[in-house]
Structure 1
């Protein structure tokens, strides 16, 4: 059970870092590039299996 928790923690840390990186890039990019990044990210997420989507934050609700 501990191994599962450690494995989960690593996944969540990596996921959080990736989302933070994407958000940082979007904040510093111009509006066209930001819109492109968001569109591509949403399309990628839409194609993921639902069990993986459950680990992802809801994107697009932040301003």
Structure 2
């Protein structure tokens, strides 16, 4: 089976669209990753502050 021109060009254009979509998603994840890292750092900091303010002994006082 030989492909006619329009079908093969359609297939090529759709693959390039998929590639650009993947690149876009990659750039989005790259821009989001630092934000999530900062969020986890903030949460860890809050947890440490909480533990320093309320030691584990106080936590375990209430069953």
Give the TM interval when normalised to the shorter protein.
Answer: 0.3 to 0.5
Q: Give the TM-score normalised by the residue count of structure 1.
A: 0.44
Select the structure that is richer in helix: 2
| Greater relative CO, 1 or 2 (CA 8 Å, sep 6+) | 1
Q: Give the TM-score normalised by the residue count of structure 2.
A: 0.44
**If you compute each CA radius of gyration, which structure gives the higher value, 1 or 2?**
2
